[in-house]
Amino acid sequence: MRTFLDKLTSYGYIHGFPYRLFAGYQIVNYVIDYLVWLWEPSTEASYPYALAHNFAIVLCLLLLLKNYWPNCLKPFYTLYWCLVVTWCLPLVNTVYYFRAQHYTSMELVNFLMIIFTLILIVDWLSFIVILISGIVGGVIYILFTQHGPLLFANNEILDILSTCLWTIIIGVFFSQNASRIRKNRQLEKQLAAIKAVVASIAHELRTPLLSIRAGAVGIRKFIPKLIETYQVAAEAQLDIPTIYPKEFKHITKVMDNIDSEVTYSNTVIDTLLTNANREVINPDVFDKHSVGSCIQAAIIRYPFNPKDQIQLVHFEKDHDFYFHGDDLLVIHIIFNLIKNAFYAIAEAEKGEVYIRLAKGRIHNTLRFRDTAKGLSPEAQAKLFDMFYSKTPNNTGMGLTYCRLAMESFGGSIDVESKLGEYTEFVLNFPILAMGK
């Protein structure tokens, strides 16, 4: 039951559905029935139907007052919604059908309408559970409130079943198409929001990065003169602080490191913008690179926190190979995998990371494994889906972009996992042709 209710909520058919509209419509419908009974006494409902009818009105009124429920009852709202839908649609209509022990075109039309209504407001699993529960509940309700057996001609039962089955098939077919349209529209809205946020962040980051690069260029011009001046002062035995030769060497390289990191940061920003815009990666910048070098660069640059986390990363440097693509994109992929791995390790309070390379006849492979908590089959199936994430403060677009990047190289990325033991990402790179 918990899984069923979670499924309903995750699809948005509970809190996302306009329950006030549903409850209001049902109340109006039942009031009209009462007016019909008063206007045409011959159509007065039987006692079982009238009782089920009145109880449905009470359920809908309580649903309308949902915002005024005491806090102790609010956790049961999902269950209550399922009860209201089951009672008001299949159960009441089943009682309505059985009240006369034969069917007319009106009863059949009503039943087809509740089938279509259910198809529109719930997913297929919920549809089956609610429809069967309502019909069975309606039959049981009639048996306890009406004397005598329920007798029907075989041809009536067959007519009802065949008509309802055909209605369900048509309804499910068209509802799936409508569901895909709604999902695509939701994805477009999410992408538009992410694109706006990423563009704003990119603009704010590029300005200070530009200032850092400009400052580094300016300092680079004066570093040789400052070093030369220091050496002259040291030879003249002036009272100046001591700078060791190793520190001199570091000073001369630090400007190059700043420029390199600014370039890398701008590439990451470009990657985020490309990801948000769902654009195809530009292959014009592709070149021949070593996968091993990309992995080492990623491990060195990754901001491990605490720093001793790096001791949990084990990289087997044997069997290195080259690929044709963008080295910064591969570094970005490794960053994503390291981040996800250490989140899993922290959550499981165990685990290490193992990275190894292998050459093959069809493709060369990079295997990235963490021995933390593993993944369930359901999580594996959705792992590369856009916006799917189990990590807090995560957009769910990192692995989606990793797959896009690998496919742009002509390769692929897949996941293998065993729940409670490990998760391993397998990155397949095309083998370079001779001379490439």
Most confident of 40-44, 242-246, 397-401: 397-401
Cα separations in angstroms, 369 against 60, 210, 243, 337, 362? 53, 37, 44, 9, 22
| Strands of the sheet with 412-418, listed across from one edge | 313-315, 353-358, 363-370, 422-430, 412-418
H helices within 278-397, ranges in order?
291-301, 327-348, 377-382
pLDDT of amino acid 151: 52
Report pLDDT digits (tens) over 137-195.
888 888 887 655 555 544 555 566 666 666 666 555 555 555 555 565 665 666 566 66
pLDDT of amino acid 226: 81
For 271, the token pair is 């990657």
Mean pLDDT of 80-95: 86
Mean pLDDT of 101-108: 60
Please give the distance of CA 316 from its chain centroid, rounded to a whole number. Answer: 33
Which tops the pLDDT comparison, 370 or 118? 370
How high does pLDDT run on average in the chain?
Answer: 76
54, pLDDT greater than 70: yes
DSSP secondary structure code for residue 393 in this structure: T
Cβ atoms of residues 256 and 216 within 8 Å = no
Report pLDDT digits (tens) over 232-275.
888 888 888 877 777 767 776 777 777 767 776 776 676 666 55
Report pLDDT digits (tens) over 186-231.
656 665 666 666 666 666 677 777 777 777 777 777 777 887 888 8
pLDDT of amino acid 341: 92
305, pLDDT greater than 80: no
Cβ atoms of residues 89 and 122 within 8 Å = no
